[in-house]
Amino acid sequence: MLRLGPLAAAGRLLPAGPRFGPPRPSGGRVSLSRSRPPGPVGDRGLLARQVRAAAGSAGGGRSPVLKTPKGTRDHPPAHAALRDRLLAAVVTCFKRHGAAAIDTPVLELRETLMGKYGEDTKLIYELQDQGGELLALRYDLTVPFARYLAMNKITNMKRYHVAKVYRRDNPATTRGRYREFYQCDFDIAGQFDPMIPDAECLKIVHEILSDLQLGDFIIKVNDRRILNGVFAVCGIPENKFITTCSTVDKLDKMPWEEVRSEMVGEKGLSPEAVDHIGEYVQLHGGLDLIEQLLQDPKLSQNKLAKEGLGDMKLLFEYLTLFGITGKISFDLSLARGLDYYTGVIFEAVLLQPENDHVEEPVSVGSVAGGGRYDGLVGMFDPKGRKVPCVGVSIGIERIFSILEQRVEASEEKIRTTETQVLVASAQKKLLEERLKLISELWNAGIKAEVLYKKNPKLLNQLQYCEDTGIPLVAIVGEQELKDGVVKLRVVATREEVNVRRESLVEEIRMRTSRP
Amino acid sequence: MLRLGPLAAAGRLLPAGPRFGPPRPSGGRVSLSRSRPPGPVGDRGLLARQVRAAAGSAGGGRSPVLKTPKGTRDHPPAHAALRDRLLAAVVTCFKRHGAAAIDTPVLELRETLMGKYGEDTKLIYELQDQGGELLALRYDLTVPFARYLAMNKITNMKRYHVAKVYRRDNPATTRGRYREFYQCDFDIAGQFDPMIPDAECLKIVHEILSDLQLGDFIIKVNDRRILNGVFAVCGIPENKFITTCSTVDKLDKMPWEEVRSEMVGEKGLSPEAVDHIGEYVQLHGGLDLIEQLLQDPKLSQNKLAKEGLGDMKLLFEYLTLFGITGKISFDLSLARGLDYYTGVIFEAVLLQPENDHVEEPVSVGSVAGGGRYDGLVGMFDPKGRKVPCVGVSIGIERIFSILEQRVEASEEKIRTTETQVLVASAQKKLLEERLKLISELWNAGIKAEVLYKKNPKLLNQLQYCEDTGIPLVAIVGEQELKDGVVKLRVVATREEVNVRRESLVEEIRMRTSRP
């Protein structure tokens, strides 16, 4: 089931061309001669002075600061091409599971986002009050989806959404954590028989991580109801469930002793209760563990835990039918940070993010996560009508960081354009002929470029093809024009053939169609 | 050269299914029976109460306001599908011309955007000062591109960028004017022989508008140097060039008399100078007009105007080679609002946006625009080093408004998913078999769905296919399982054939591949 390997994702490889890595110029690099000065209006005119003055007043007289905001980055062509292919692979999987796309604004009313993210609410970017509504940037795609469902009174829907979200988090860019980043979400809303949509979400994570060949991974699964049942039987008061949950969630980053002391110290829980919790949350396994807990004298008496365990058993049955239980771990330490989950929760982590070629491996942690949130839509409905939902979010930026480093380490070259042919000339004074020919090619749907020079040297034109990976050159010359042919040169082999002008489009198509 | 007609853009048509128009539920609409209550954690638990309290305090105790921010909108699946195809058509053209993709953050430092948009600077969305850098939402893709070039010291590049931009403008949503909207930009940066890249930008506009079959259109072309030359020979002081330019720009929306009185009244220009300008800016034509103005006793003495007219003549020569002068009008009233243009400017308008089927035609105005901005990159460079640029922006939202209304009027149905087959059962107790089969199909790359019910009725499963446009149903039953076959039903014709299980994937592929 290997639909997109890392090399396929990186596009066709080039024998030479722009390196993946720090941004470098791309496009007609060979014709840099200053053939004319820039127009005087922008040069010495009033506009330039006015604009400089304005920029100066904003920047306090300093020369302009050239950077992107903290925690954000530009994507140069090689990045953008790799990421487009990665996103396309994820979307292909979402479509394979019958999801429709929606889009919602990056801006939401502030009150839409408030009270949905617990402690993380402080990480929301707010817009300045410029008159009118108070706005904020979306923090995830889940709350806007719930708002969308409630606003349009939609009671069932299977949708995907690939878009940027914003968090004023402490960026850790080497680990792929940014303040602006893509989320790729797939969600199923509606009242259905238990665990069927939940199982499909896990199948999707499994498909995507397998397809991308990121190395071995495990998908941890738990249920908020089981966690809450554990807290209850351990004697935690109900009003401390959420805060206890956030602390348990740190178990993937710190050892139990530290989590324990935070619970006892900061959160003020009794040491006995906490030790009791410790016995549970360090458990992980499969169907056997579920059976064991269903027999647990205390837990089996708790209604929530029993429901959660029953559903977990059903989920494992479906995952067995899907043939993916080998990568699933029922893990009682998994808690997930966000407040809105109400049932099954899950998180995928890579087990071997290290790449042989990479000296300092990227540590990426979780690469996908999600769960069931049956209460969120009801929060937006004036009458509190519920729409149960379950969904998954693919951590595309972290995956991208891995692929990025892998490509860099392997010194692969990524083509950033898809140009099939460069229209060139061997002699001078043929610009008009080049423009006429390229126009014919464009009109026939051929991807074609021409150097923006009146009399480029043939060598420079060929070098441009080498640099940018263009496979063919269509050369016009006096003799070819007389004969009604175009000389077609294959860049890689230097083979040259004369092609009748009326057959050129077909010949280019034939020679550039993928095998 | 009709690569994407409006029907092709709207995707495959459906005999039945969700209407294009106001958002409606989509996806498994047939299995709505409440088979279980939502989980109690979200239902009566602490979380729900906490969250309600928080939402209440943000919203002043009212029930939550269910809306998107002013001037923004959600895109339900039918919109999103149509828009994805529209964007894909534009990107295809950009790639045909050899452009590479880049991406830049939605957030920019405020000082990056200040002093670039003249009077429109007030329309920039600013973020609240939450500590750290002062930020704003990008107003267009051009200034971030210039910032990107300067920051990375790139001196030549051909790039496209499709992304959302933000303007605190007065929204006119019926005319496709929003506060959040997509821009599709193609730009060529670098020092080249004159007018070759500029001509390619116009060719791109011509290709896209022709491909989309939006009806007849005209591309108005002018040059800021010609306009400034006109202002100079009419006796306008240099420090009033920009403000005069903004007023001339209104000529497409108001008659000359009103523009004249704004110039004399608000802008304080002399009536004689203004009347003199009036003689020029009401001119439009082709090569003949260029020749006429080159002979104009005053204008031909002005250095800027002469340069501009010389380049305009050259541009028309190249456009003749491209065969597109029929749609080009040299129009001296075209001024373009933005400050940063320094040379050629252009704007495409639809001549017949009305559609026969539509009672109230959408008035959309300009659907593409652009021009040369040789000074912008230099504003970001600490040493003021220039990188001449020319680019075009496609007004995708306005085009989308037209297509949207056209689809609505024609009552076409748009498929919002690509599902090839629904895995169904005719008898009860076959959920496990359905899940096993669909898992096989997904693993083979088939787009497949299953209803999330243990025992759905066959009729409901068939109805789901009718509603959502799924062409095939794979039916498992006791007998089929025994025989090692699957019954494949063609929804449109009701034809049913038994297919051996091992041939099913191939059979589905064959029956759903486009002709």
Q: What percent of chain A has pLDDT over 70?
A: 85
Q: Do A36 and B105 touch (CB under 8 A)?
A: no
**Chain A residue closest in CA terms to B314:** A432
**Distance between CA B153 and CA B326 in Å, rounded?**
39
Rounded to the nearest angstrom, the minimum Cα separation between A93 and chain B is: 8
**Dihedral (Cα; B15, B20, B25, B28), 10-degree rounding:** 30
- Substitution target from A51, A72, A113, A306 for chain B, most B beta carbons within 10 A: A51
pLDDT band at B404 (very low <50, low <70, confident <90, very high): confident
Counted across chains A and B, CB pairs separated by less than 8 A come out at 505
Beta strands in A226-319 (DSSP E): 284-285
- CB count within 10 Å of CB A192 equals 24
Determine the pLDDT at residue B361: 44
Determine the pLDDT at residue A319: 98
Tens-place pLDDT, residues B8-52: 333 344 443 333 333 333 433 333 233 333 333 333 344 444 444
**Chain B residue closest in CA terms to A121:** B54
pLDDT band at A62 (very low <50, low <70, confident <90, very high): low
Tens-place pLDDT, residues B250-286: 888 888 999 999 999 988 999 999 999 999 999 999 9
3-state SS of A93-138 is: HHHHCCCEECECCCEEEHHHHCCCCHHHHHHCCEECCCCCCCEEEC
Q: Do B58 and A194 touch (CB under 8 A)?
A: no
Chain A positions in Cβ-Cβ contact with residue B165 (cut-off 8 Å): none
**Distance between CA B476 and CA B478 in Å, rounded?**
7
Q: Which CATH number fits domain B421-512: 3.40.50.800, 3.40.50.720, 3.90.650.10, 3.30.1310.10?
A: 3.40.50.800
**Distance between CA B208 and CA B198 in Å, rounded?**
16
Determine the pLDDT at residue A118: 79
The dihedral through the CA atoms of A24, A28, A29, A32 has a sign that is negative
Chain A positions in Cβ-Cβ contact with residue B418 (cut-off 8 Å): 95
Binning chain B into helix, strand and coil, the percentages to the nearest 5 are 45, 20, 40
Q: Do A69 and B109 touch (CB under 8 A)?
A: yes
Chain A positions in Cβ-Cβ contact with residue B473 (cut-off 8 Å): none
A453 touches chain B (CB under 8 A): yes
**Distance between CA A103 and CA A135 in Å, rounded?**
18
Closest residue to B126, CB basis, from A102, A128, A304 = A128
Report the SS3 class of residue B187: strand
Is-contact B25 A154, C-beta < 8 A?
Answer: yes
> Does B341 belong to an annotated binding site?
yes
Q: Do A379 and B132 touch (CB under 8 A)?
A: no
Q: Which helix (H) or strand (E) holds B367?
A: strand B366-372
Residue B151 in this model has a pLDDT that exceeds 60: yes
Q: Where are the domains of chain A?
A: 77-410, 421-512
Determine the pLDDT at residue A40: 36
Report the SS3 class of residue B331: strand
**Chain B residue closest in CA terms to A379:** B52
Query: What is the pLDDT averaged over residues A342-367?
Result: 71
Task: Sheet with B157-166: list strands edge to edge.
Answer: B100-101, B157-166, B180-189, B389-394, B366-372, B344-350, B217-223, B328-331, B284-285
pLDDT band at A515 (very low <50, low <70, confident <90, very high): low
Rounded to the nearest angstrom, the minimum Cα separation between A111 and chain B is: 6
Q: Do B68 and A104 touch (CB under 8 A)?
A: yes
**Residue written as token pair 């449109």:** B492
| B-contacting residues in A 48-67 (Cβ below 8 Å) | 48, 50-55, 57-59, 63-67
Q: Do B96 and A36 touch (CB under 8 A)?
A: no
**Chain B residue closest in CA terms to A55:** B115
Q: Do A442 and B207 touch (CB under 8 A)?
A: yes
A156-165 in b/e form (b: 16+ CB < 10 A) is: bbbbbbbbbb
Report the SS3 class of residue B114: coil
B170 touches chain A (CB under 8 A): no
Output the CA–CA distances (angstroms, integers) from residue B56 to A321, A379, B162, B437, in the order listed. 45, 10, 38, 47
**Chain A residue closest in CA terms to B54:** A115
A123 touches chain B (CB under 8 A): no
Determine the pLDDT at residue A421: 98
Tens-place pLDDT, residues B207-230: 999 999 888 999 999 999 999 999
B2 touches chain A (CB under 8 A): no
Chain A positions in Cβ-Cβ contact with residue B339 (cut-off 8 Å): 47, 50-51
pLDDT band at A364 (very low <50, low <70, confident <90, very high): low
What are the residue ranges of helices labelled H in A282-382? 287-295, 303-321, 376-380
Output the CA–CA distances (angstroms, integers) from residue B392 to B108, B189, B198, in the order listed. 21, 12, 9
Output the CA–CA distances (angstroms, integers) from residue B220 to A257, A394, B177, B217, B366, in the order listed. 72, 45, 21, 10, 10
Query: What is the pLDDT averaged over residues B343-367?
Result: 70
pLDDT band at A58 (very low <50, low <70, confident <90, very high): very low
A140 touches chain B (CB under 8 A): no
Residue A73 in this model has a pLDDT that exceeds 60: yes
B339 touches chain A (CB under 8 A): yes
**Domain B216-351's class?**
alpha beta
**Distance between CA A378 and CA B40 in Å, rounded?**
13
Task: Give the rounded distance of the alpha carbon of A450 from its chain centre.
Answer: 34
Query: What is the pLDDT averaged over residues A434-444?
Result: 97
Rounded to the nearest angstrom, the minimum Cα separation between A245 and chain B is: 12
Higher pLDDT, A73 or A53: A73
Determine the pLDDT at residue A124: 96
Residue A359 in this model has a pLDDT that exceeds 50: no
Is-contact A180 A74, C-beta < 8 A?
Answer: no
Q: Do A58 and B110 touch (CB under 8 A)?
A: yes
Determine the pLDDT at residue A30: 29
Report the SS3 class of residue A217: strand
Lowest mean pLDDT among A361-365, A434-438, B345-349, B429-433: A361-365
Q: How far apart are the first and last CA of chain B?
A: 20
A432 touches chain B (CB under 8 A): yes
Query: What is the pLDDT averaged over residues B71-83?
Result: 94
Output the CA–CA distances (angstroms, integers) from residue A421 to A16, A415, A424, A466, B368, in the order listed. 17, 14, 9, 12, 27
Is-contact B277 B212, C-beta < 8 A?
Answer: no
**Residue written as token pair 């609409």:** B29
**Distance between CA A472 and CA A492 in Å, rounded?**
8
* Eight-class DSSP state of B140: -
Closest CA to B198 of B312, B102, B88: B312
The one-letter amino acid code at A187 reads D
Chain A positions in Cβ-Cβ contact with residue B117 (cut-off 8 Å): none
Determine the pLDDT at residue B62: 54
Q: Do B66 and A321 touch (CB under 8 A)?
A: no
**Chain B residue closest in CA terms to A421:** B98
Report residue B197: phi and psi, to 5°: -65, -35
For chain A, the average pLDDT equals 86
Residue A102 in this model has a pLDDT that exceeds 80: yes
Report the topology of domain A77-410: BirA Bifunctional Protein; domain 2 (3.30.930)
**Distance between CA B392 and CA B372 in Å, rounded?**
9
**Residue written as token pair 């003021």:** B384
Chain B positions in Cβ-Cβ contact with residue A80 (cut-off 8 Å): 100-103
> Does B340 belong to an annotated binding site?
yes
Closest CA to B456 of B443, B473, B439: B473
**Residue written as token pair 């109690």:** B40
Q: Do A105 and B74 touch (CB under 8 A)?
A: yes
A497 touches chain B (CB under 8 A): no
Q: Which helix (H) or strand (E) holds A448?
A: strand A448-449
Angle in degrees, CA B117, B256, B361, rounded to 5: 75
Closest CA to A209 of A10, A333, A84, A395: A395
Chain A positions in Cβ-Cβ contact with residue B207 (cut-off 8 Å): 442-443
**Chain B residue closest in CA terms to A123:** B130
Closest residue to A155, CB basis, from B32, B76, B193 = B32
Q: Do A3 and B376 touch (CB under 8 A)?
A: no
**Distance between CA B271 and CA B290 in Å, rounded?**
26
Residue B490 in this model has a pLDDT that exceeds 70: yes
**Distance between CA B347 and CA B349 in Å, rounded?**
7
| Length, in residues, of chain A | 515
**Distance between CA B183 and CA B191 in Å, rounded?**
25
What are the residue ranges of helices labelled H in A124-195? 142-151
A16-55 in b/e form (b: 16+ CB < 10 A) is: ebbebeebbbbbbbbbeeeeeebbbbbbebebbeebbebb
Tens-place pLDDT, residues A156-186: 999 999 999 999 988 787 777 899 999 999 9
**Distance between CA A173 and CA A171 in Å, rounded?**
6
Q: Do A158 and B27 touch (CB under 8 A)?
A: yes
> Does A341 belong to an annotated binding site?
yes
- Substitution target from A36, A57, A68, A467 for chain B, most B beta carbons within 10 A: A68
